């Protein structure tokens, strides 16, 4: 056909053009920012959009506070610190590219992880290949498979993250008289919640508790009333929940509406630590026993944490992030503190030397004294079990006061006593 | 059934929910015939065509074409057996040229090789009178040309039986004559034609035999004269 | 008509040249290309495969598949299954994932293709969600917790493993585009167009529409599956919410639309362009604007340039079909 | 584990959830079912409604349902404008199947990202007196957080149903996709009628969004999760049938609730979509379809 030959010509032209376009675009990507050797660059990916962006943005602000603090104090190895970061869009597929860009194009001196297990794991092969020190932020049992000696995880889950997570929940419950006999386990069908429930299941079996309900739900479940009803029908003494922010809210609402009767309720509910959700739920939180990482109780006023929070809260204004910054933010500051202290102490930029130092020393940070187990987790768990107590309104200020989230566990940091049972 | 029946429709029934569109309709089309199928709106003409061409499945009765039972056969299989149809509302392949439209039918229905499409397609377009529009986009045709394309594409499947579904609706009287001429010419070439039409003048002039449907039932059958004088037909069209 | 022989040669010449170039930069480290380019390039090429696969259904036949992420994820998880069973090599994973997804496409086709186009689109959406639920509840592949797949550091003779992955994806992209182009130029491809323009008319013109649609879903599924097969190796850790990420579905639609959905070249251009822009934006803009680009570019193109870039180029080069 | 009490509770929860599902799908029944416009961005408009309810609630303490009602006219205008653009760009050129779909896909993304830029990705909730209460009789409980949205949903259904069946314009909307010509002969401009219909469709999103944020916390991309559900209901209903939408919503709600109560909640969404796939495969015209 006549026209077809014309097509052929132009098609060939397009192919050339599209190739040319790809090459040009690639070249743009290659163009590195101006190289400067008078700074120490720390690179990372962070979830600034997508599902984990709330946490990611908060972490980023905390990390920027650390950089300012460090630079004000003279930097590291006599050089100013510069943070180089990219948005991973909460998509793990973006992570490998970002870390190679950081290392090969931006020539960063150090890398630290982004936020969350899914976004930490994809970077592991790259940092392992190059033998880099890799401080990580809130990954759950990432190193179980990789067994990488230079991996250091700042979340205080402890050397056995699966079970250490809910240890406090059982410890508080089993100390009661009479101790509970039955437990219901419920969790979202997603990475963290599954692990949290798994750990809770292992311990329930070890303690000889009868598991009367053990189900997971789809993370997008809109109404939790049927689930709470089904749990209530089994009358468990304990209810352990592994959930994410929206379903934590749904679960708490449904529990108050149904009038869930159990002796202890909570455990691994992510989101109840966030200012926006605490103010939304207000008094409905009373009695819930849930994990936490930092709360403004007198036992947890570590050196520098209040100064940090003041700076963070100022920087966070109008950024659409958590205005209090208790949960994750001090740890985002601390994992850089660990790296910075190790660099200063060894006076070296050699990853092997620094890794060796971190493995063998402890660090005073805004989240307290940190030392790492051989698998890179905290040497000793410090997942707090706190109970919401005496909350009467939905004001933000309420949650800045001591006594609203009383630390029950670990014993070392205990700041009050448990109200038991949850509801009868 | 007579020996020379090309298409034999036996007691065909089709229901849509509670509505019976065709009720035990029998009809027989002989080879080489010019057959008219008429009836008021909603009488079941289009449903009948859809059952014959296979776009609808009849529930009762059977349809036999050249001695082959059509039940369960897909429309494209019936097309390959030699039943072609045009559509009341033209359905051209809009992103293709007129010739390429025919190419689809030629390649798929008759297995014409790509290299012969041009020649055979152009031959059909000559017959239909659409040759000079061969390279035009099918979507850009005028109404009359679209009707012609419908017929041309149907012809490209090399049918023995051509069903023309209201190919003249909305056309001017010279255009109607134009289409009629084409259909006569095709019939002379040996193709049996079923014409569904509202334009009485055209049906009566064209058909050698006519079946009248009303409310899903066959109410009359015969040559044009008999039909015109049938009281039942009159009642169906004019109401009681 | 003498064009088939003539027409094949420049395309295959280009394909061969690209493959040779791929070998040169991966095995012989020609141009000393930065590792980052391989990582980014892998993602872009993966989109070339996905967009091309989508376009076989969407562009040629007019059946919009919202379930690209479902096929992609099933391909990725098929690899996880093989890995968990006996640490299968990638060379086995790819055909296995392809066959699994081809069967999935066939099954989906049987189930849904008698439906009108829009219903089909919704059914694909539902199917992706059902598949995600199944994977979430399947502990063998990690369930909701996810699964680790440890890749080796190096792969001879490519050196760095990512160079190997990049090269594999390059071959897959060439393969996918060749298949799409071959379909487009074949009788089957012309049947696809007839189905897109009017399905009933196509059927009545002798086109076996159901069979062609099943061919399309099967081939399209196969290609989406092979695109997903190396994914777990690329990210090392796979869990349902990232494997079923909606971005794959969105990009698989946006890329052909932007490039031009009626030819094999459209999705290639769209994927190279949009994919590269996304990769560049990831390391430059780093904000919500990144997502906004996809949305705005997509809306802009469908309104202003319905034929995509290919259509624009066609006009610009004056190679427009004359109607008269 | 089975008891009558549990069954009754599951049914109540299912009915209440189903009413809400139906409210969320109503707009799509009008646009997709009656006007033949595949507005894949409908859930995004609902989320926009949620955020407006959130904004008014957090700034001035306005009741979310009241906000929803106030904003119906605003959304109506947005919808009418969006249809105009859609018509000029796609429908007039007979190009809605592929590009129109892609257009709404893009719109969905733009709304989502715009919300992220303004509000961030935190989950937002509203305060109202009826959230967190419940009526109890024996072991049976009715949470008002679900009951109030259910009542509003029923009211909205009744209003739209009456409008569509009792007024000239309403009947014209129902007819427009089937028979444009007849409409023109009756002196109605099909484009204007579709504009009106699409306006109503988007208008319902304002109120549905308010209901959504009463029931669950909302973040900008949560709408995506509901695309499947709302289309499932619209299809199951038989496209364009308003009573059918209500019934289909209830069926989905009850199915999810029963499965969630008795078989384990992780299968609830799969069962719902199983129903959809079965409906598509065996009865594509839907429950109330023609």
Domain total in chain A = 2
Residue bearing the bigger pLDDT, C111 or B187: B187
State the SS3 of chain C.
CCHHHHHHHHHHHHHHHHHHHHHHHHCCCHHHCCHHHHHHHHHHHHHHHHHHHHHHHHHHHCCCCCCHHHHHHHHHHHHHHHHHHHCCCHHHHHHHHHHHHHHHHHHHHHHHCCCCHHHHHHHHHHHHHHHHHHHHCCHHHCHHHCEECCCCCEECCCEEHHHHHHHHHHHHHHHHHHHHHHHHHCHHHHHHHHHHHCHHHHHHCCCCHHHHHHHHHHHHHHHHHHHHCCHHHHHCEECHHHHCCHHHHHHHHHHHHHHCCCCCHHHHHHHHHHHHHHHHHHCCCCCCHHHHHHHHHHHHHHHHCCCHHHHHHHHHCCCCCCCC
- Determine whether the interchain pair C207/B108 forms a contact, defined as Cβ–Cβ distance below 8 Å: yes
C51 has a pLDDT exceeding 90: yes
Q: Could you give the 3-state DSSP secondary structure of residue D12? A: helix
* Residue A103 maps to a domain: yes
pLDDT number for residue C114: 67
Distance of CA D221 to the CA centre of its chain: 16
Helical ranges in A176-324 per DSSP H: 191-206, 225-232, 245-258, 275-281, 305-316
The pair of structure tokens assigned to B222 is 């015969």
- Contact of C130 with chain D, judged by CB distance below 8 Å, is answered with yes
Determine, yes or no, domain membership for C268: no
The answer to whether the Cβ–Cβ distance between A29 and C239 falls below 8 Å is no
State whether D260 and A253 contact (CB < 8 Å): no
Domain assignment present for residue A280? The answer is yes
Q: Are D201 and D28 in contact (CB under 8 A)?
A: yes
Query: Is residue C201 situated within a structural domain?
Result: yes
pLDDT on residue A29: 44
Residue C302 has pLDDT above 70, yes or no: yes
Looking at the structure, tell me whether residues A359 and A260 fall in a common domain: no
Is A26 part of any domain? no
Phi, psi at B222, each rounded to 5°? 160, -175
Q: Is the pLDDT of residue A14 over 70?
A: no
- Give yes or no: residues A223 and A166 share one domain: yes
According to the model, what pLDDT value does residue B32 have?
Answer: 87
**Which one, of A7, A74, B93, A204, lies nearest residue C185 by Cα?**
A7
* pLDDT at position C17: 77
Element housing B22 (H / E): strand B19-30
Distance from CA of A51 to the nearest CA of C (A): 10
CB contacts, 8 Å: B92 with chain C = 197-198, 201
Q: Residue A85 domain-assigned? A: yes
Which of the residue ranges A270-284, D218-232, D235-249 would you say has the lowest mean pLDDT? D218-232
C281 domain residue, yes or no: no
Q: Do C280 and A28 touch (CB under 8 A)?
A: yes
Task: Count other C-beta atoms under 10 Å from residue A1's C-beta.
Answer: 16
Q: Cβ of C306 under 8 Å from any chain B Cβ?
A: no
Mean pLDDT, range A314-330, rounded to an integer: 89
Please give the order of strands across the beta sheet that includes A39-46: A80-87, A39-46, A110-111
pLDDT band of residue D5 (cuts 50, 70, 90) is confident
Q: Does domain B1-82+159-240 have CATH number 3.40.50.2000?
A: no
- Give this complex's ipTM: 0.79
Question: Other CB atoms closer than 10 Å to residue A391's CB: what's the count?
Answer: 21
Domain span at residue A67 reads 35-156+307-370
pLDDT band at A4 (very low <50, low <70, confident <90, very high): very low
Q: Considering only residues A178 and C9, tell me which one the structure prediction assigns the higher pLDDT.
A: A178
If you count residue pairs, one on C and one on D, with CB atoms under 8 Å apart, how many are there?
122
CA angle, corner B42, sides to B38 and B43, nearest 5?
45
**A140 and A171 inside one domain:** no
Q: What residue has token string 């675009």?
A: A25
Separation between Cα atoms, residue C172 and residue B164, nearest integer Å? 48
Q: What is the DSSP letter of A207?
A: T
The Cα A373–Cα A377 span in angstroms is: 5
- Partners for C (CB, 8 Å, 3+ pairs)? A, B, D
Q: Tell me the two tokens of residue D289.
A: 């379809």
Report angle CA C275, C278, C283 to the nearest 5 degrees. Answer: 135
Residues in chain B where the model's pLDDT stays below 70: 1-4, 17-18, 238-240
pLDDT for position A313: 94
pLDDT score, position D185: 67
β partners of residue A85: A44
Instruction: Give the Cα separation of A114 and A60 in Å (integer).
Output: 9
Q: Which chain B residues contact residue C320 at CB under 8 A?
A: none
Kindly report the nearest CA distance between residue C106 and chain B, in angstroms: 19
Q: Which strand (E) or helix (H) includes residue D106?
A: helix D101-119
State residue A350's pLDDT score. 92
Answer yes or no: is C285 within a domain: no
Among the listed ranges A23-32, B198-207, C314-323, D23-32, which one has the minimum average pLDDT value?
Answer: A23-32
Q: What is residue C285's predicted lDDT score, i.e. its pLDDT? A: 66
- pLDDT band per the 50, 70, 90 thresholds, residue A34: very low
Instruction: Answer whether A24's CB lies under 8 Å from A275's CB.
Output: no
* Option in D1, D132, D269 nearest A253 (CB): D132
What was the pLDDT predicted at D68?
92
Query: Which has the minimum average pLDDT: A135-149, A199-213, A404-418, D83-97?
Result: D83-97
Residue of D nearest to C129 (CA): D270
Check if C62 contacts B (Cβ < 8 Å): no
Q: Which of A88, A269, A93, A114 is closest to A193 using CA atoms?
A: A269
Mean pLDDT of A81-102: 88
Q: Is C286 on the interface with A (CB under 8 A)?
A: yes
Residue D179: pLDDT band by 50, 70, 90 thresholds?
low
Instruction: For residue A402, tell me if it sits in a domain.
Output: yes
In a domain, A27, yes or no: no
Q: Where are the domains of chain B?
A: 1-82+159-240, 90-158
Give me B171's structure tokens: 């056309």
Q: Give the three-state DSSP class for A222.
A: coil
Across chain A, mean pLDDT equals 86
**Chain D neighbors of A223, CB-CB under 8 A:** 13, 16-17, 146, 215-216, 257
Query: Can you tell me the mean pLDDT for A124-152?
Result: 89
pLDDT digits (tens, 9 = 90+) for D129-164: 877 777 877 778 788 888 899 999 999 999 999 998
Helix pair D144-166, D4-28: axis angle to 10 deg = 40
Nearest by CB to C250, from D109, D231, D280: name it: D109
Of C297 and D48, more confident? D48
Mean of pLDDT over chain D = 83
Q: In chain C, positions 38-77, which contact chain A (CB-CB < 8 Å)?
A: 38-41, 43-44
- Each domain of chain D, given as residue ranges in start order, spans 4-282
Sheet (strand A405-409) strand order: A210-217, A182-188, A238-243, A264-269, A289-292, A384-388, A405-409
Q: Which residue has the higher pLDDT, A211 or D123?
A: A211
Cα three-residue angle A377-A383-A385, rounded to 5 degrees:
170
The answer to whether residues A143 and A81 belong to one domain is: yes
Per-residue burial over D208-224, b = 16 or more CB atoms within 10 Å of its CB, e = otherwise: bbbbbbbbbbbbbbbbb
The H-assigned helical ranges of B20-63 are 45-53
Q: Do A40 and A176 share a domain, yes or no? A: no
Is A293 found in the same domain as A311?
Answer: no
Mean pLDDT of C180-208: 90
Mean pLDDT lowest among A66-75, A169-178, A255-264, D87-96: D87-96
**A392 inside domain:** yes
Quote the pLDDT of residue A20.
47
Q: Looking at CA atoms only, how far is residue A253 from chain D in angstroms?
A: 6
| Residue C23: inside a domain | no
Q: Is the same domain home to A135 and A51?
A: yes
Write the DSSP string, B84-132: EE--SS----TTSBHHHHHHHHHHHHS---HHHHHHHHHHHHHHHT-GG
Q: Is residue A1 part of a domain?
A: no
Share of chain C above pLDDT 70, in %: 88
Is the pLDDT reported for residue C213 higher than 80? yes
Residue from the list C62, C134, C295 with its beta carbon closest to the beta carbon of D109? C295
Q: Which residue of B has its CA nearest to C208?
A: B76
How many Å apart are CA A328 and CA A333, to the nearest integer? Answer: 9
Per-residue model confidence (pLDDT) at position A32: 40
H-run or E-run covering B28: strand B19-30
Whether residue A31 has pLDDT greater than 50? no
- 8 Å CB contact of C294 and D109: yes
Of all residues in chain A, the percent with pLDDT exceeding 70 is 91
CATH number of A126's domain = 3.40.50.2300
CA distance D239 to chain A (A): 24
| A285/chain D closest Cα distance in angstroms | 12
The count of structural domains within chain C is: 1
Residues D78 and D69: their CA atoms lie apart, in Å, by 15
Cβ proximity of D75 and C155 under 8 Å: no
Give the whole-angstrom CA distance, residue D290 versus residue D132: 42
Average pLDDT rounded to a whole number, residues C181-197? 91
Query: Is residue C59 one of the residues assigned to a domain?
Result: yes
User: Is the predicted pLDDT of residue A236 greater than 80, yes or no?
Assistant: yes
């Amino acid at each position: 056909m006549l026209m077809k030959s014309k097509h052929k010509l132009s098609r060939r032209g397009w192919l050339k053009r599209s190739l040319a376009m790809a090459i040009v675009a690639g070249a743009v990507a290659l163009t590195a920012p101006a190289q400067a050797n008078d700074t120490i660059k720390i690179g990372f990916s962070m979830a600034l959009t997508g599902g984990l962006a709330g946490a990611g943005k908060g972490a980023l602000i905390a990390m920027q506070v650390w950089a300012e603090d460090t630079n004000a104090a003279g930097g590291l190895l006599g050089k100013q610190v510069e943070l180089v970061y990219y948005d991973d869009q909460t998509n793990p597929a973006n992570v490998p590219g970002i870390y190679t860009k950081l290392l090969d194009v931006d020539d960063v001196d150090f890398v630290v992880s982004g936020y969350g297990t899914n976004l930490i794991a994809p970077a592991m092969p790259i940092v392992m290949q190059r033998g880099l020190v890799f401080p990580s932020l809130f990954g759950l049992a990432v190193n179980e498979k990789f067994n990488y000696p230079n991996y250091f995880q700042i979340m205080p889950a402890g050397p056995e993250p699966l079970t250490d997570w809910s240890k406090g929940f059982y410890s508080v419950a089993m100390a009661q008289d009479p101790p509970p006999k039955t437990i219901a386990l419920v969790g979202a069908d997603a990475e963290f919640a599954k692990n949290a429930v798994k750990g809770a299941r292992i311990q329930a079996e070890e303690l000889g508790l009868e598991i009367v309900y053990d189900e997971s739900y789809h993370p997008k479940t809109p109404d939790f009333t049927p689930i709470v009803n089904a749990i209530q029908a089994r009358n468990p003494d304990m209810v352990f929940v592994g959930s994410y922010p929206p379903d934590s809210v749904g679960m708490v609402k449904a529990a108050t509406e149904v009038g869930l009767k159990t002796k202890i309720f909570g455990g691994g509910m992510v989101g109840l630590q966030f200012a926006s959700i605490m103010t939304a739920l207000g008094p409905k939180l009373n009695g819930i026993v849930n994990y936490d990482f930092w709360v403004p109780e007198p036992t947890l006023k570590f050196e520098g944490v209040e100064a940090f929070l003041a700076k963070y809260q100022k920087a966070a204004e109008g950024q659409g992030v958590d205005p209090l910054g208790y949960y994750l933010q001090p740890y985002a500051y601390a994992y850089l503190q660990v790296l910075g202290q190790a660099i200063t102490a060894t006076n070296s930029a050699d990853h092997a030397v620094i890794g060796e130092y971190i493995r063998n020393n402890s660090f005073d940070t805004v989240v307290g004294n940190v030392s790492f187990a051989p698998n890179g987790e905290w040497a000793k768990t410090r997942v707090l079990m706190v109970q919401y107590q005496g909350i009467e309104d939905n004001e933000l200020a309420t949650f800045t006061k001591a006594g609203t989230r009383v630390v029950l566990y670990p014993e070392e940091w205990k700041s009050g006593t448990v109200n038991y049972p949850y509801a009868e | 059934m007579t020996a020379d029946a090309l298409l034999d429709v036996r007691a065909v029934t089709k229901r849509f929910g509670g509505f019976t569109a065709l009720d035990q309709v029998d009809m027989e089309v002989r080879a080489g015939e010019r057959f008219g199928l008429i009836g008021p709106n909603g009488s079941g003409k289009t449903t009948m065509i859809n059952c014959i061409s296979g776009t609808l499945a009849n529930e009762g009765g059977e349809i036999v074409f050249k001695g082959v039972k059509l039940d369960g056969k897909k429309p494209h299989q019936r097309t390959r057996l030699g039943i072609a149809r045009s559509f009341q509302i033209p359905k051209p392949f809009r992103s293709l040229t007129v010739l390429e439209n025919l190419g689809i039918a030629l390649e798929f229905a008759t297995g014409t090789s790509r290299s012969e499409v041009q020649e055979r397609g152009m031959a059909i377009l000559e017959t239909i009178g659409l040759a000079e529009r061969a390279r035009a986009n099918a979507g850009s045709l005028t109404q009359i040309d679209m009707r012609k394309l419908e017929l041309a594409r149907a012809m490209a499947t090399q049918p023995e039986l051509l069903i023309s579904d209201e190919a003249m609706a909305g056309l001017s009287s010279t255009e109607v004559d134009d289409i009629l001429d084409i259909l006569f010419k095709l019939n002379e070439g040996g193709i049996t034609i079923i014409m569904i039409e509202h334009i009485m003048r055209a049906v009566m002039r064209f058909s050698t035999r006519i079946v009248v449907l009303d409310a899903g039932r066959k109410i009359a059958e015969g040559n044009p004269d008999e039909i015109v004088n049938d009281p039942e037909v009159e009642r169906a069209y004019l109401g009681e | 008509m003498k064009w088939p022989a003539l027409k094949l040669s420049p395309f295959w010449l280009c394909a061969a040249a690209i493959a040779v170039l791929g070998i040169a930069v991966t095995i012989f480290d020609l141009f000393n290309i930065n590792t980052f380019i391989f990582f980014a390039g892998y993602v872009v090429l993966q989109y070339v495969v996905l967009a091309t696969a989508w376009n076989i259904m969407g562009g040629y036949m007019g059946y919009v598949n919202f379930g690209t992420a479902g096929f992609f994820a099933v391909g990725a998880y098929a690899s996880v299954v093989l890995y968990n069973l006996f640490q299968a090599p990638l060379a086995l994973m790819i055909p296995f994932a392809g066959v699994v997804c081809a069967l999935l496409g066939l099954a989906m086709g049987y189930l849904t293709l008698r439906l009108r186009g829009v219903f089909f689109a919704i059914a694909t959406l539902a199917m992706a969600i059902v598949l995600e639920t199944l994977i979430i509840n399947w502990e063998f592949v990690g369930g909701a917790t996810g699964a680790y797949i440890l890749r080796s550091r190096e792969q001879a003779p490519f050196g760095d493993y990512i160079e190997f992955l990049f090269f594999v994806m390059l071959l897959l992209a060439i393969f996918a585009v060749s298949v799409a182009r071959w379909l487009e130029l074949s009788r089957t491809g012309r049947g696809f167009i007839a189905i897109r323009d009017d399905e009933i008319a196509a059927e009545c013109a002798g086109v076996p529409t159901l069979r062609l649609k099943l061919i399309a879903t099967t081939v399209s599924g196969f290609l989406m599956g092979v695109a997903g097969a190396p994914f777990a190796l690329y990210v090392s850790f796979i869990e349902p919410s990232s494997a079923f990420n909606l971005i794959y579905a969105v990009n698989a639609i946006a890329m052909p639309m932007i490039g031009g959905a009626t030819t094999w070249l459209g999705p290639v251009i769209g994927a190279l362009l949009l994919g590269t822009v996304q990769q560049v934006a990831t390391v430059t803009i780093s904000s919500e604007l990144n997502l906004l680009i996809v949305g705005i570019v997509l809306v802009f193109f469908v309104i202003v340039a319905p034929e995509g870039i290919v259509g624009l180029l066609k006009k610009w080069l004056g190679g427009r079909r004359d109607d008269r | 584990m089975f008891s009558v009490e549990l069954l009754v509770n599951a049914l109540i929860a299912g009915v209440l959830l189903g009413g809400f599902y139906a409210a969320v799908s109503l707009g799509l029944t009008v646009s997709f079912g009656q006007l033949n416009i595949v507005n894949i961005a409908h859930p995004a408009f609902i989320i926009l409604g949620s955020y407006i309810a959130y904004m008014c609630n957090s700034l001035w303490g306005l009741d979310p349902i009241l906000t929803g009602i106030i904003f119906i006219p605003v959304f109506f205008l947005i919808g009418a404008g969006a249809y105009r653009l859609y018509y000029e760009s796609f429908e007039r050129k007979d190009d809605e199947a592929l590009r129109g779909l892609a257009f709404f896909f893009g719109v969905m993304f733009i709304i989502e990202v715009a919300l992220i830029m303004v509000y961030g990705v935190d989950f937002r909730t509203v305060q109202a007196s009826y959230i967190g209460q419940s009526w109890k009789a024996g072991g049976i409980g009715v949470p008002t957080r679900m009951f109030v949205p259910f009542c509003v949903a029923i009211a909205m259904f009744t209003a739209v149903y009456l409008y569509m069946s009792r007024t000239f314009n309403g009947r014209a909307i129902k007819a427009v996709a089937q028979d444009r010509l007849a409409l023109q002969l009756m002196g109605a401009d099909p484009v204007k009628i579709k504009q009106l219909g699409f306006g109503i469709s988007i208008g319902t999103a304002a109120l549905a969004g308010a209901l959504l944020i009463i029931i669950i916390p909302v973040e900008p991309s949560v709408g995506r999760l509901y695309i499947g559900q709302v289309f499932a209901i619209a299809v199951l209903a038989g496209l364009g049938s308003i009573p059918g939408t209500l019934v289909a919503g209830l069926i989905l709600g009850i199915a999810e609730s029963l499965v969630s109560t008795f078989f384990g909640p992780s299968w609830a969404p799969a069962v719902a979509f199983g129903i959809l796939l079965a409906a598509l495969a065996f009865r594509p015209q839907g429950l109330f379809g023609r």
